[in-house]
Amino acid sequence: MKYILCAAAACCLLLGCSTGTVDRKPKSLSSYDPEAKALVARMTLEEKIGQMTQPEQGPVMASPGDMQKYFIGSVLSGGDSDPVEGNTLEAWTDLYDRVQAEAVKTRLGIPVLYGVDAVHGHSNVLGAVIFPHNIALGCTRDPGLVEKINRITAEEVRATGIQWTFSPCVTVPQDIRWGRTYEGFSEDPDLVATLGEAAVRGLQGDLGDPLSVLACAKHFVGDGGTAAGTTARPGAPAGKDARLWLDQGDVQVDEATLRRVHLPGYVAAIRAGVGSIMPSYSSWNGVKCSGSHRLLTEILKQELGFEGFLISDYNAIAQIKPGDYKTSVEISINAGMDMAMEPTHYRAFFDTLRELVEEGRVPVARIDDAVTRILRVKFAMGLMDKGRSQLADRNLHQVFGSDAHRAVAREAVRKSLVVLKNENRALPIPKQVARIHVAGRSADDIGNQCGGWTIRWQGQGGRVTPGGTTVLAAIRSAVSPETLVTFSPDGAGAEGATIAVAVIGEKPYAEGVGDRDNLGLDLEDRATVANLKKAGIPVVTLVISGRPMVLGDVADRSDALLAAFLPGTEGKGITDVLFGDHKPTGKLSFSWPRANGQLPLNIHTPEERYDPLFPYGYGLTW
């Protein structure tokens, strides 16, 4: 059965590739080498190293003159690195303009690349459209839609001036206990490759277009295949936080498996012309990816022909040889790393790399190659064009968070919704019923709908951003004027209603914090569904989560069961399906387990052990 479903999914991918997308070959980045190499020839060693250095905006802007002293070539805002004035569109735009104005004061006036984690919309900024996370988009099997979503994301990012997003994530999660599972499109490498390529096309388009942003495929390579351990997370004090860890772990597979399962997304991203790639914190058979010459230079740059530049993850270089930063920098740069994300230790990186070059431990030729790669991208993006303003185009503010953008997000929500169960024709719900009782802690919570990487790095519950619609509000707006909609967080008071809708699942989390050994639903959620069942009415259960959950008795107590994963701000996409305005089309992008003891479980599990509650590719319609 598993292999039949996989074959059917492959057919859907082929159909998706032939409709809604355009096959176009981007201009080679190396074609900009004459300009890039001419500029490199004019640069001092310090100016070159500055192009390779990426601090966080807060520390570098708090130190007057550092942008010029260290010739900074790139700046980032991490998940919680916001403007001091707040997270408004205006504040972000002002911050970008301040940073860029400082950057061009250097001798050569080279603009900075400003990077941010816009992983499901411009999700650090209040009022941005927050799209479903990748795990949900994988359920759409729609590369055209994914391309459109990323095109809108690029436009909203550009509205703040920023020109680079650390996206798409083309990981292939093999163990859903990993807290970053929702950042992956699927457990199937073919689907990841198809949708990852579409995402790159959407973000970059014509890289020189002022409405495009630089994409960054991550995390190279195998971050979704790390072996489960129960030791502390890398970098944690000894004896602290000893529990299940998958994040930043070790991928213990041979090269053939690494290529078959984890590499296809990068092959596709390079085919789409991706201009940057981020190596993973994780290791491959004990060797940190950020320090592997085999992975970064031999496979990625030489074999696959990647012409862009490599950017390390947040403070990742120091993990290569803990306690010996200088050797860590030497290993990483010689392995092929081109730019170092050093949020607060940018001065140490600058001084250390200069020493390594002066001592002959890092060849000047390696520095020149790295800087050429960075500059060829800047030339391709038009950042080096004479007379072109480097300040933000504030005319784009008028489309930021617009109704047109939200309409695409709503489409994405309804196309990603997966109906797992529908007994006694519980769905679709007639809009004219007398009373609908809505329950559950996620029913009226935009923060829970959006999940991690939303305003805050780890996400948070509550009204985290203006705009958008919760499930409860969407239900109230969808039903007839005569229908009464009541609500209780715990499912109490459902007696006498025509039907109940429970909205349950996970609270927001991101990397590290989200690693979890037990994927069972919380007692609070199970009690909510049990309370509704006691009322003797049909129960429709909607699961909002970053991965498939172990449902237990909730599946049996629900007449209908739907997986929304993390749908983002546009809850009306859910009610589009609940009330029958659109038929459900979503198909699972991950296998859904029966019990914790089955994990890890995916399409690569041997046939005799593959016994999910709902298989990969499953999804009902009517």
Alpha carbon distance 59, 1 (integer Å): 55
Strand partners, 250: 283
Beta strand ranges found along 16-60 (DSSP E) = 53-54
Strand partners, 454: 456
Catalytic residue among 188, 511, 515, 570: 511
Examine the residue annotation and report whether 313 is marked as an active-site residue of this protein.
yes
Q: Residue 437 to residues 22, 238, 429, 476, 543: CA-CA distances in angstroms?
A: 45, 49, 12, 11, 16
Examine the residue annotation and report whether 80 is marked as an active-site residue of this protein.
no
- What sign does the dihedral 118-121-122-124 (CA atoms) show? negative
Residue matched to tokens 């790639």 = 277
Q: 539: part of which helix (H) or strand (E)?
A: strand 539-544
Alpha carbon distance 455, 475 (integer Å): 25
Q: Which of 122, 64, 66 is nearest to 89 (CA)?
A: 122
Instruction: Write out the two tokens for 472.
Output: 């409860």
166 contacts: CB under 8 Å, gap ≥ 6: 115, 116, 117, 118, 119, 216, 218, 278, 311
Length of the chain, in residues: 622
Catalytic residue among 47, 102, 313, 570: 313
Distance, C-alpha 410 to centroid of its chain: 18
Instruction: Write out the two tokens for 366.
Output: 């390696």
Q: Which of 182, 224, 200, 199 is nearest to 459 (CA)?
A: 182
Q: Which of 296, 268, 291 is nearest to 172 (CA)?
A: 268
Instruction: Write out the two tokens for 15.
Output: 């159909």
Instruction: Write out the two tokens for 250.
Output: 């070790």
58 contacts: CB under 8 Å, gap ≥ 6: 81
Q: Please report how many Cα atoms fall inside a 13 Å half-sphere around the Cα of residue 540, on the Cβ side.
A: 28
Q: Which of 80, 78, 118, 115 is nearest to 99 (CA)?
A: 115
376 contacts: CB under 8 Å, gap ≥ 6: 29, 30, 32, 33, 35, 36, 307, 308
Which amino acids are annotated catalytic?
313, 511
